[in-house]
Structure 1
Amino acid sequence: MDLHVSLAGRGDLAARIYRQVLDAILDGRLRPGERLPPTRELARRLEVSRNTVAAAYERLAAEGFLEGRAGAGTFVGGGRVPGRTTPADPAGKGPAGAPGRTGAHRAPGGVRPRPLWRSLPSPVRDDAQAGPPYDFRVGVPDPELFPLATWRRLVARELRLSAVRTAGYGEPAGHAGLRAAIARHVGISRSVRAEAEDVIVTQGAQQALDLVGRVLIEPGDCVAVEEPGYPPARLLFRSLGARVAGVPVDAEGLRVDAVPSAARLVYVTPSHQFPLGVPMSLRRRAELLAWAERRGAVVVEDDYDSEFRFGSRPLEPLQNLDRDGRVVYVGSFSKTLLPMLRTGFLVAPASLRPALREAKRLTDWHGDVITQAALARFIDEGLLGRHVRRAAREYAARRELVTAALRRDFAGLLRLVPSAAGLHVCARLAPDAEVDVEAALARAGTAGVRAESLAGYCGGTPVQRGLVLGYGAVPAGMIEEGLHRLAAVLRPS
């Protein structure tokens, strides 16, 4: 491993080398078992005598931080190194007591982000961590349902040597085969009117929203979102400098009469509103499109989880009803497959395509070509449709268990919000129920149950209280016991 050592400043050279190698070991940049450069090589790079480097190494070895292996070299010792919060300052840094490093970070102060980035809330959950036994997180699919063997075969096929040899920078809009496959897929399954040239492949739906925001939003512009709604979208638009206005939702979806007249962009989830689950009525869809045409606004239609339907026939998407080129349709494979694949897409009107492609190029040039090519084959060979049908049967069974338990065990406490799609359900607190939802969820955590509060999806003061329960991450056999435990902590003692 290349090791950077600075000899700036005054003092004994061997002591400075010793101190900087020691700092690298103590703060974890050099890990146990890692090989250090030979003394001759490091001396040549630093333009010092070999004896100088050897003296530093010998001192570290005597203290147990390094060990020599005959014929192999010098390595960081494998023993446990006592941790400390502030590694010693590099030699020559300054007088004793001068600020140094704290771990791998510089001392407080210095460069700071814009105030906006200090004000954005941190996520309340960490999806990278393993969940509790009874995990009712929202928006998490079951990885056990993912067809891993099939996916491994498709990826291996795309990683053949001939493909790697010809690989260069890809098309910013995404793999041509995947764009065509997505256009066919959403055309058949969702009646979206799209050709391959209308599709831009993104790193999940969140990047699709980011690209739309970059292209359309000026600092100070008004963006309307549903209230309650999807927090990552709300925070993203805020990060772009928008004034975000929450618009109430009722049994027909977004209340178009409450959308601010100054709104430049309206973000909606009409297939099944997130997180309540209600679909936007056909009347409201027509009203929203007419409003957007009058105001010269853009509607972003997030059609999340639309593949998993368990009831009535879905209404036409806004994109299909749009005749003025004002709807950007956004989708993702995070819930149908796995979030870690980070593959989403948008279908854009012709007037926005050049700008969105350029925004994608400037953001990250293009996504993972191997994953995109494998997904194109996965769709074209009918494997996605097969997987969705299999997963939908499993999720339908879990959904039935959740809704039955809510009606049985939570009577008088919660009222289920009608919905017919997705991987979660929402239940509002009954008007006369005296329950501190947040405190109850904290107690549920000690019982091995994780669920989410409806209040967490509100941008302002919550006007609705209740629970949002996902069933993608919890096995069917654990649903009834998990909800029984949750009911126990919600019931007043």
Structure 2
Amino acid sequence: MDLHVNLRSRRDLAGQIYRELRAAILDGRLRRGERVPPTRELALRLEVSRNTVSAAYEWLTAEGLLAGRSRAGSFVQGEGPTGAGRSGGRGTVRLRARSIWNTLPTPRAPEPALAHDFRVGIPDAGMFPFETWRRLMARQLRAANMPATYAEAAGHPGLREAVARHLGVARGVRATAEDVLVTNGAQQALDLIGRVLIEPGACVAVEEPGYPPPRLLFQSLGARVVSVPVDAEGLDVSALPDDARLVYVTPSHQFPLGMPMSPARRTALLDWAKRRDAVVIEDDYDSEFRFGGRPLETLHGLDRSGRVIYVGSFSKVMLPSLRLGFLVAPPSLQRELRLARYVSDLHSQWPAQGALARFIDDGLLARHIRKMRREYESRHERILERLTRDFGDWLQPVPSTAGLHLSATFRHGSRRLEQDVVARAKAAGVGLVALSRYYASPSVKPGLVLGYGAVATARIDEGLRRLRACVTAAAGTKRG
């Protein structure tokens, strides 16, 4: 390995080398079993005599930190305590970030999967065609398919064309490749939109309850974020603040409650945006999985004035770890959004973009979606049936015919009951999410959100049996 040794003067050279290597071993930069450079090589690099380096190695060997192996070299023998000295020598001055970062919550670490995993937003990785994806990626990693320079900020041309065709067929979105910008997931798409449109102090409206990451993102960009309530028809347009510059909505499958925005509300929202000179972000995060009823036209499809930016990703239909998403922008913002992408991280991983383009063009994405739609519909129906039959005294399911999760509100009970049920469920090996997590205001409607992407069909009944026992115990405790 290339080992950095800093010689601050030409005095006591062997001592300086010894102390640098000793510190690297004790603070964990050099780990047990790693080979240090040969004395001749390190001496040439540092422009010192080989005897000087040999003396430093001998001192370290005497302390038990290095060990020589015949014809193999010298290897690290000792090690420091875990995490020791990781930040040593970096100064004690406390640098201050912008004050907004002190108001945002620290992200939760991903929780390990439980035996009965009803967590939200996780697709079934076990049904993903990994072997097919591996072959497509291998093809893209050939020299002929790998650009020797940085690539286009808007994304792989083939993927942009494939996404435009896919959206036109599957969602009725009128778009060309020029309208599509490839991103690292939907969250980066929102970040680019915010960079382009949000002035410090500008008002941004989001749904309540709603998906937390966009709210936090807009706040971090200096926006004044206002929560707008949703009801059985979706976002309450009449409650939008007059000065909102941007409105973020999930009209196809409101997150987390699950109802679609009614046609009347869609029309009202577009009319409002036109009157107020506002922009609407339509997050169509899992609309591919629709199980019943006529598909509603997207806001983008209804928009005639170019005020809707359509955002989506492949995290739910494929895998979140691929980090591939997109936005469909009106011509008036395309230059600025591409520039924002250029100055942020330039472009997404090129081989994965090329592989996804082929995955779509060969009909493999449509086939995978059809297979997963059947599977998720079966799980959705099973959970809804059990909730209606076994939880009717406590929970009221929210009507939903799409997506990877469904919600249920408590008929009677408080947030304390909700939190108690979630804690008991976790202890019983059942993973799920409290509905209150998705509210920004103190006024919440307690309930549970159950995902069915990560839970195997065979585990649903047992998981819900355990959950029922937890609800029964928690409700009895609260009455007592």
TM-score range, shorter chain: over 0.9
Q: Aligned partners of 1:306, 1:257: CA distance in 2, in Å?
A: 25
Residue 282 of structure 1 and its aligned partner are, at CA, apart by 0.4
Question: What residue identity is the alignment partner of 1:66?
Answer: L
Q: How does 1:408-427 map to 2 (within 5 A)?
A: 408-427=389-408
Give CA deviations for 1:412-465 in whole Å, capped at 9, x if unaligned: 111100011000001111135785211321222221111101111111214211
Q: Aligned partners of 1:199, 1:7: CA distance in 2, in Å?
A: 53
Range that drifts further, 298-307 or 43-52 = 43-52
* Structure 1 residue aligned with 2:60: 60
Give CA deviations for 1:349-374 in whole Å, capped at 9, x if unaligned: 11001111111111111111111111
Residue 27 of structure 1 and its aligned partner are, at CA, apart by 2.3
Range that drifts further, 45-54 or 154-163 = 45-54
Residue 52 of structure 1 and its aligned partner are, at CA, apart by 2.7
Residue 52 of structure 1 aligns to a residue in which SS? helix
* Structure 2 residue aligned with 1:144: 126
Figure out how many residues of one structure are paired with residues of the other and give that number.
474
Question: What residue identity is the alignment partner of 2:359?
Answer: F
Do the aligned partners of residues 45 and 110 (structure 1) sit closer, same or farther apart at CA in structure 2, a change above 3 Å counting? Answer: farther
Q: Scaled by the length of structure 1, what TM-score is found?
A: 0.92
In structure 2, which of residues 220, 229, 233 is the aligned counterpart of residue 252 of structure 1? 233
Residue 152 of structure 1 and its aligned partner are, at CA, apart by 1.2
Question: What residue identity is the alignment partner of 2:392?
Answer: A
* Structure 2 residue aligned with 1:315: 296
Q: How does 1:374-393 map to 2 (within 5 A)?
A: 374-393=355-374
Do the aligned partners of residues 433 and 216 (structure 1) sit closer, same or farther apart at CA in structure 2, a change above 3 Å counting? Answer: closer
Q: Aligned partners of 2:14, 2:133: CA distance in 1, in Å?
A: 54
Q: Is the 8 A contact 1:227 1:247 kept in 2?
A: yes
* Structure 1 residue aligned with 2:103: 119
Residue 70 of structure 1 and its aligned partner are, at CA, apart by 1.9
Q: Aligned partners of 2:420, 2:11: CA distance in 1, in Å?
A: 59
* Structure 2 residue aligned with 1:93: none
Q: Aligned partners of 1:105, 1:9: CA distance in 2, in Å?
A: 19
* Structure 2 residue aligned with 1:70: 70
Question: What residue identity is the alignment partner of 2:117?
Answer: D
1:428 aligns with 2:409: yes
Question: What residue identity is the alignment partner of 1:112?
Answer: R
Do the aligned partners of residues 52 and 402 (structure 1) sit closer, same or farther apart at CA in structure 2, a change above 3 Å counting? Answer: same
Range that drifts further, 398-407 or 55-64 = 55-64
Q: Is the 8 A contact 1:412 1:433 kept in 2?
A: no
Residue 168 of structure 1 and its aligned partner are, at CA, apart by 2.2
Do the aligned partners of residues 125 and 75 (structure 1) sit closer, same or farther apart at CA in structure 2, a change above 3 Å counting? Answer: closer
Do the aligned partners of residues 107 and 482 (structure 1) sit closer, same or farther apart at CA in structure 2, a change above 3 Å counting? Answer: farther
Give CA deviations for 1:121-147 in whole Å, capped at 9, x if unaligned: 122341xx5311111110000111111
Give CA deviations for 1:351-409 in whole Å, capped at 9, x if unaligned: 00111111111111111111111111111111111000111111111112211221122
Residue 25 of structure 2 aligns to a residue in which SS? helix
Q: How does 1:73-92 map to 2 (within 5 A)?
A: 73-77=73-77, 81-83=79-81, 86-87=84-85
Do the aligned partners of residues 207 and 467 (structure 1) sit closer, same or farther apart at CA in structure 2, a change above 3 Å counting? Answer: same
- Cα RMSD of the aligned pairs, angstroms, is 1.9
Q: How does 1:304-453 map to 2 (within 5 A)?
A: 304-431=285-412, 436-453=417-434
Question: What residue identity is the alignment partner of 2:103?
Answer: S
Q: Is the 8 A contact 1:305 1:336 kept in 2?
A: yes
* Structure 2 residue aligned with 1:134: 116
Q: Is the 8 A contact 2:251 2:282 kept in 1?
A: yes
Residue 86 of structure 1 and its aligned partner are, at CA, apart by 4.7
Q: How does 1:257-336 map to 2 (within 5 A)?
A: 257-336=238-317
Do the aligned partners of residues 300 and 105 (structure 1) sit closer, same or farther apart at CA in structure 2, a change above 3 Å counting? Answer: farther
Residue 84 of structure 1 and its aligned partner are, at CA, apart by 5.9
Residue 40 of structure 1 and its aligned partner are, at CA, apart by 2.3
- Which 5+ residue runs of structure 1 have no aligned equivalent? 88-101
Q: Aligned partners of 1:11, 1:259: CA distance in 2, in Å?
A: 72
In structure 2, which of residues 441, 462, 465 is the aligned counterpart of residue 481 of structure 1? 462
- Which 5+ residue runs of structure 2 have no aligned equivalent? none
Q: Is the 8 A contact 2:415 2:436 kept in 1?
A: no
Residue 466 of structure 1 and its aligned partner are, at CA, apart by 0.5
Q: Is the 8 A contact 1:329 1:347 kept in 2?
A: yes
Q: Aligned partners of 2:154, 2:13: CA distance in 1, in Å?
A: 54
Residue 3 of structure 1 and its aligned partner are, at CA, apart by 1.3
Do the aligned partners of residues 450 and 294 (structure 1) sit closer, same or farther apart at CA in structure 2, a change above 3 Å counting? Answer: same
* Structure 2 residue aligned with 1:209: 190
Q: Aligned partners of 1:280, 1:377: CA distance in 2, in Å?
A: 33
